[in-house]
Amino acid sequence: MQHKYPALFTITSVFRVFGWVTVIWTAALVIMGAIVTFVNGQYLGGGFFGFLGELLGAVWGSLMLLVFYSIIGGTLAVLYFAAAESIQVLLDIEGNTRSE
């Protein structure tokens, strides 16, 4: 099928790929972080989130940090998928209103 706007079609595909990569990396980070936390028993975070390890303890602080990471990763993935679907809607509207 020949697309009238190939750049928008490409951008849609790129956003979908970014969304799936974000989902995979977020899931891998959370799974590996949970395994490391329970095996090691040490706090994962540092820097800005350094207080969580002292406030909640190593394991609970790490788990709270992993929940935060999963929320941020999930939000980014949803935004990527929403951007891709928004562009796809515009392409579908253009295709349906085209008079050939």
pTM of the predicted model over 0.85:
no
Q: Is residue 98 left, alpha or beta, with left meaning phi > 0 and alpha meaning psi from -120 to 50?
A: beta
Which residues, 6+ apart, have CB-to-CB distance to 64 below 8 Å?
52, 56
Average pLDDT of the residues in 3-15: 89
CA gap 23, 64 in Å, rounded: 19
pLDDT digits (tens, 9 = 90+) for 10-68: 999 999 999 999 999 999 989 988 888 778 776 666 655 666 666 667 777 777 788 88
Domain ranges of the chain: 25-95
CB neighbourhood size of 18 (10 A):
17
